[in-house]
Structure 1
Amino acid sequence: MLNIAETLHRWCGEARPFALATVVDVRGSAPLPVGTSVAVDEDGNAVGSISGGCVEGAVYELCRQVLQNRGEAQRAWFGYSDEDAFAAGLTCGGELDVVVQRIDPAHQRHLGAALAEAAGGLPAAVAQVVDGPDGLLGATLSVLGDGRTVGGTLDDGPVASAVADRARALLRAGRTARVTLGGDADTCPERLSVLVHVAATRPRMLIFGAVDFAAALSQAARFLGYHVTVCDARPVFATAARFPHADEVVVDWPHRYLERAEVDARTAVCVLTHDAKFDIPLLRLALGLPAGYVGAMGSRRTHDERLRLLREAGLTEAQLVGLRSPIGLDLGARTPEETAISITAEIIAHTNRASCLPLSQGTGPIHGPTAPAHGDKQAIGEAYGAVPMSAGQAAAVP
């Protein structure tokens, strides 16, 4: 639902009831991920999309019915249809499970609070029961960025406490996910499935080296939604005028800045200086932090020398395996702009555990399984390890 947070926040502020249809499960190839929603108000106004157009008409009518009937939440299933051209079906061949429920802002003020945070760019989470005991389908609970639970339609007790704990964990990880809990005496005797919608702060990309490649990379990263920092020790090069797409430009020694920077498992560290006096102290520090991606630019000869110096500096082989160097995928990149695409493509592939192969050479669903929670360091390592080391940008940098 947080994909349409701004509109839903406005509707809540106007005390306008609406029906919310949310994708709670995806099987096969589907155009939009779990957690995506469409909403319809009592005047018939609609916002959002859950299928890129395939089943929107059927979902719209279902939303209207739920609004008019003022009944309990409903589940609907949409799959591939080729027998009837006018049937509601996903022509992409996937399957969607959708929960449709009526939201009355006057009685669900907690939802308005979470939507207000998300619309303002602040972290928030909304947990939504999507499967479980009768009467709980569609029940919600909201958690703000500081960890406070601001209420919900789940009754206070062990179930609500367990759901809030999982919502806080996913909020810290910055990841929307469906989780299963219950089935034990301490929480809920019956198992239930909860979809936790997360609006997180933007992930960070730290770019070291105020070079032309950094200018292009900062633009590509900003387009992808990163909060971009460019850092260089040379004030004549590290200027806001040279990096208009960066959120901040810092003049400092790279390793000294990294020591005080906020780094988590969603952070990408891109070292573009290919100068040992900057690279070695910086990478020695970066490879010991929980950053999700650490890449360094340079030729293969530079890479080999860099590894030798890092080993001399005390790094282990287990730490060095986390270094993506030469940085980027082998796209034949030459220009700074092409190299920026190469680097961001590698980061996207790592995040999504992708093979980096052309889709035309693969089989099975185009949209594979979701990446592990960003906070799960072991799972992240396994996922990143599944992608081959980059073939490199040796031609891009001497």
Structure 2
Amino acid sequence: MREILPALERWYAAGVPFGLAEVVAVSRSAPRGPGAAMAVGPGDEVVGSVSGGCVEGAVFELAQEVVTSGEARLETFGYSDEDAFAVGLTCGGEITLLVRPVTPASDPVFGAVAASVDRGEPVTMATVVDGPAPRGAALAVWPRAVAGTLGTLGTTGLDAAVTADARGELALGATGSRHYGPHGERREDAVTVFLHSFAPPPRMLVFGAIDYAAAVARIGDFLGYRVTVCDARPVFATPKRFPAGAEVVVDWPHRYLSGTETDGRTVICVLTHDPKFDVPLLEEALRRPAAYIGAMGSRRTHDERRKRLTEAGITEDELSRLRSPLGLDLGARTPEEVAVSVAAEIVALRWGGSGVPLTATAGDIHPAGAS
């Protein structure tokens, strides 16, 4: 939806209603993913696309109908073997669309979300798709450090559960549907809520193109990070050794990091455990924003690294950010097991987890304060 927001904001500011169709679910070879959107505004002006041309004619009529009726609709389009010329996806996939009317009077959440997107602020828009909650009801969720929420999905319990999940999806820049009971219970048979996150996925920067780096890159990709692997040695930093979605860079690690933007969601994993690489790299890393900075090595390596960093002028406060040796104590041996250990520490640090077995804890598994 991001690419059509300028037109939607223009209509919204003018106070005219428009029909907004958004892809909320796909299957098989659907041409557009969740979050793709099309809108029909004043004078039958159309912006955006939900299928690359397959069903846009039918969606145009649906958008007009919801503006007239004032009620949101849920529609699914798929390929029909019986009638290949029927309205459907000739590619053989299936898409489900939520088509709803938007006006400033009925949907103040939309304006607040659009304003945040304009300012580059991360925000998730949660919308009821189906079930015993008002279809089209919306809730805007910002990170806890930025702001709270705006709107409601119908009940306090549902709002609380969706807020927690929306912040989790927002941390990963992920978009998709979740299912709840009418009061926020974790159930598959009641309310379907579509969470559209307006944030790029966070970055994972992996330094040192070793076998452990390949495993960490794979699990980072699985968790939704945009992964970059950097090493100064071209013989090791080759794309074929890493996941297809990972960027591979040949450069001195500290030089690459100094020219790279990081933020409070960025994960930095230093796997070189070679002083000529990791000391200048960690000098740079510990002085910039990041959610996690971890370095591989033995305890002896850590002590020597800490001494060198102190001599280089890194303060105790800066050193306190360093997770070294990185990972949780899982008894990991193989690169894949170490990657699980590292990922577990990253997740625990993000949400304030203790890292101990749940059987040794009491109370809520997902405390409200962790959202």
Confirm whether residue 20 of structure 1 aligns to residue 35 of structure 2.
no
Which residue of structure 2 aligns with residue 288 of structure 1?
Answer: 326
Which residue of structure 2 aligns with residue 74 of structure 1?
Answer: 73
Structure 1 gap segments, 5+ residues each? 218-223, 272-276, 291-313, 325-374, 377-398
Confirm whether residue 29 of structure 1 aligns to residue 29 of structure 2.
yes
Given the two structures, how large is their TM-score scaled by the length of structure 1? 0.56
Residue number among 256, 260, 283 corresponding to 1:256 in the alignment: 283
Distance 1:175 1:258, change over 3 A: same
1:320 counterpart letter in structure 2:
P
Which residue of structure 2 aligns with residue 109 of structure 1?
Answer: 108
Q: Does the Cα contact within 8 Å between 2:160 and 2:184 map onto a contact in 1?
A: no
**Whole-Å separation in 2 of the counterparts to 1:57 and 1:264:** 45
**Whole-Å separation in 2 of the counterparts to 1:286 and 1:43:** 61
Q: Give the superposition deviation at 1:124.
A: 0.4
Distance 1:157 1:317, change over 3 A: closer
**Whole-Å separation in 2 of the counterparts to 1:71 and 1:88:** 24
Distance 1:159 1:205, change over 3 A: closer
Q: Give the superposition deviation at 1:225.
A: 12
Q: Does the Cα contact within 8 Å between 2:158 and 2:184 map onto a contact in 1?
A: no
Q: Secondary structure at the match of 1:321?
A: helix
**Whole-Å separation in 1 of the counterparts to 2:246 and 2:40:** 28
**Whole-Å separation in 2 of the counterparts to 1:84 and 1:15:** 41
Spell out the pairing of 1:218-367 with structure 2 (5 A cutoff): 232-233=253-254, 246-247=260-261, 253-259=280-286, 262-263=289-290, 288=326, 317-318=332-333, 320-321=335-336
**Whole-Å separation in 1 of the counterparts to 2:159 and 2:98:** 20
**Whole-Å separation in 2 of the counterparts to 1:6 and 1:231:** 41
Q: Secondary structure at the match of 1:87?
A: coil
Structure number with higher relative contact order (C-alpha < 8 Å, ≥ 6 residues apart): 1
Distance 1:231 1:8, change over 3 A: farther
Distance 1:183 1:14, change over 3 A: closer
Provide the alpha-carbon RMSD of the alignment.
4.8
**Whole-Å separation in 2 of the counterparts to 1:10 and 1:286:** 51
Identity over the aligned pairs, expressed in percent? 35
Q: Give the superposition deviation at 1:35.
A: 2.4
Q: Give the superposition deviation at 1:139.
A: 0.7
**Whole-Å separation in 1 of the counterparts to 2:170 and 2:236:** 30
Q: Secondary structure at the match of 1:117?
A: helix
**Whole-Å separation in 2 of the counterparts to 1:75 and 1:185:** 21
Which residue of structure 1 aligns with residue 140 of structure 2?
Answer: 142
Which residue of structure 2 aligns with residue 98 of structure 1?
Answer: 97
Distance 1:140 1:238, change over 3 A: closer
Given the two structures, how large is their TM-score scaled by the length of structure 2? 0.59
Distance 1:34 1:12, change over 3 A: same
Partner deviation per Cα, 1:162-191 (whole Å, 9 max, x = no partner):
322322222233211211111569799x82
Q: Give the superposition deviation at 1:216.
A: 11
**Whole-Å separation in 1 of the counterparts to 2:327 and 2:14:** 45
Q: Does the Cα contact within 8 Å between 1:81 and 1:87 map onto a contact in 2?
A: yes
**Whole-Å separation in 2 of the counterparts to 1:122 and 1:232:** 29
Which residue of structure 2 aligns with residue 41 of structure 1?
Answer: 41
Distance 1:185 1:210, change over 3 A: closer
In the alignment of these two chains, the number of paired residues is 280
Q: Give the superposition deviation at 1:204.
A: 2.3
